[in-house]
Every structure is written in structure tokens, then in C-alpha cells.
Copies of this chain bind each other. A is one copy, B any other.
């Protein structure tokens, strides 16, 4: 077994209390005593027992993060990068991070949150991929449990979230296409229950309407954010006598799938068909052709959304400014876009 305060106390001949205080750095313990205790603790290889400390402090110093993901082959770099951001920030505050993966909007997911919240496994949770009417957020608000989210929602209430201005991002992307001369632009949206799908759509519509362009109803379609999904949906778009000359995808993965579909139809991406993604995962640059995309600083967002939660847990109040942070995305033009009939 490992060394406890009691063991040290026995060794140095002081009480457990004194040892505890010496090690905690209280100033009401004799300098001499402290030195002895600290040194002995060191020698004996003392490590505080976290569980005991947590029970006593009624705090877990742990954050929870449930990744919303379908099926086994979950491998969106988006999440890896977000996780790294959250994890590193948490570590810098000496907090543990509890991670699990659950399919979104399912009983299993709800249970996962209940576990974290009701059984006192974590002090706060971080959400991502928020839904328009997000049951998770409703639940957390109702339980009055600390959380922050990457993504806004329509759920009423006060809570802190970070988001990327997806509307302006897609607006810029669309404008880029229009400036290149495109008029027949299709959009592959994220699943429609996701909040960011709404903003993306708004940005697209605004850009098209501003230029007096009409949106063909069948050219608004949504995909599941995987390569496979983007591929399937793009085939559908292209398998038609009247094809769009450009496609804006909800993320880079779907854009890559769409590019593959285009190749299968004998189209050269960047010439016969322009494709734009969203995220700028490392792969975007290495895809063929290199993918024009809208970059969002995922890692930084991860850090930020975690930092906000930490602040809340420390009891620091967040001003309403801090509560609703909107990052600006940035259009990165590469080779997958060009003039139509280019």
C-alpha cells in the first residue's frame, strides 16, 4: 500500500493534523517541524490520496467530455484536435479529463451525462456539436450544473458558450464562388438538428440572395459529416442532367467525399466542379486537389471553452461578453475552387 499522512505522522512523531498542515503549507507550523515533515514525506515517497481528498473537499477536480459519435469508425480529426485543446488546458489547471463517446441524442448519451452529473464524477462538463433543441443543455441547466459548450443552441437560459461564426464563414465561401463566376451552387449541410447547420444555411442563403441568385431546392441537402456521407450525397447531386458547378460542404471530410464522387463522374475538381470544405483539418492541405476551406481554430477553441469552464468553477463571474465568444473563421483558398467551366 502507499504512504499516508498517518504513516508520516508515526514516523516523525507528530499528529496527522500537523503533518497535513505542514504539507499544505499553512503558516502555523514551526519552521523546524515543517522541514522535518516535508523531508520525511519526500523520503517516504508520500503522495496524497486523491479520492480521500475529493471526498473531503466535495470536489473532483475533474472535467467531463462526452464525444458525440456514431458507430465504431469514429475518426473525425475535428474531435481529436478539440480534445487535445481541452485536455491540455485542463492539464494546465491540474484537472483530470473524463472522456467517453456516445451516439448523439440517444438514451445512452443521456445516461452518460446523468452519470457524470448526478453521481458526482466531475465538477463540470464540456459540450460540442450542439443541437437546436439540445436536451443535454436543458438537462444541465435544470440541474444547475456547470458547463460550457462549443456551439450555440435555441435552448433558453444563461450559459457560456464559444462558437465560430459559421454564418459569416459560409457567406465568405459562397461569395468567393460567386466572384469566380459560379451561379449554380449546391450546399451539403450538416445534419439539420445541429445548430451550426442553421448558421451555415443562413450564410449561404444570404450570400446567394444578396447576389440575386436563386437556390435550387434540390441543391440543399444534408450529410452525416463523414467522407462516406459526403460521397453519397454528392453522387446524388451530380447524378443529374442539371448539375451544380460548385459544392459547399459542411466539413472537410464531406468535401473530400464529394471530391471523390466528382472524380467518379469524370469531373476535374477545381475546373469542372469547385468544392469548399469547412474546418481546415491538416488533411485539407494534402488532399488532391488541395482543398479550399473555411478554417476554424479548433485547438484554440478547445482551450478556450475549457478555460471558461475552469473560470466558472473557480467562482469567477463571467461577464456577458465572455459568455458568448464568437471566433472568426477564415477562408483558405487552395486548388479545389476555380472559375466554372474553367
Residues of B within 8 A of A282 (CB): 73, 75, 226-228
Q: Which residues of B contact A51 (CB under 8 A)?
A: 51, 54-55, 60, 120
Judge if A171 is at the interface, Cβ distance under 8 Å. no
> Which residue of chain B has the shortest Cβ distance to A284 in the bound complex?
B227
CA A186 to CA B241, docked complex, whole Å: 45
Interface size on A, residues (CB 8 A): 59
Contact between B72 and A75, CB atoms less than 8 A apart: no
For A98, list chain B residues within 8 Å (CB): 62, 96-99
A136 on the interface (CB 8 Å rule)? Answer: no
| Contact indicator A74/B79 (Cβ below 8 Å) | no
**Across the two chains, which residue of chain B brings its CB closest to A303?**
B72
Residue of B79, B84, B226, B227 touching A72 (CB-CB under 8 A): B84
The A155-194 residues at the B interface (CB cut-off 8 A) are none
Q: A47-61: which have CB < 8 Å to B?
A: 47-52, 54-55, 60
Q: List residues of chain B with CB within 8 A of the CB of A75.
A: 77-78, 80-81, 281-283
- Known interface pairs A80-B74, A80-B80. Does A286 touch B227 (Cβ–Cβ under 8 Å)? yes
Residues of B within 8 A of A96 (CB): 98, 100, 121
Bound CA span A90–B100, Å: 9
User: Hey, what's the 0/1 contact readout for A113-153 against B, CB within 8 Å counting as 1?
Assistant: 00000111100000000000000000000000000000000
Q: At the interface, yes or no: A259 with Cβ under 8 Å from chain B? A: yes
**Residues 257-306 (chain A) with a chain B CB within 8 angstroms:** 257, 259-260, 263, 281-283, 285-288, 290, 299
Cβ 8 A contact of A120, one of B49, B73, B83: B49
A286 to B258, alpha carbons, bound, how many Å?
A: 9
Our pick among B83, B121, B227, B299 for the contact of A73 (Cβ within 8 Å) is B299
A340 at the interface (CB under 8 A from B): no
Complex contacts, A79 vs chain B, CB 8 Å: 80
A166 to chain B, nearest CB (A): 20
A202 lies within 8 A of chain B by Cβ: no
Give bound CA distance, A74 to B314, whole Å.
29
Q: Could you give 30 example pairs across A and B, Cβ below 8 Å?
A: A47-B118, A50-B120, A51-B54, A51-B55, A52-B55, A72-B81, A72-B84, A73-B299, A74-B80, A74-B81, A75-B77, A75-B281, A75-B283, A76-B77, A76-B80, A77-B80, A79-B80, A84-B101, A90-B100, A91-B100, A96-B121, A227-B283, A227-B285, A227-B286, A231-B286, A256-B283, A257-B286, A260-B286, A260-B290, A288-B288
Known contacts A72-B85, A256-B283, then 8 further A-B pairs from the complex at CB < 8 Å, ordered by chain A residue: A49-B55, A51-B54, A72-B299, A83-B101, A228-B282, A257-B286, A260-B286, A287-B288
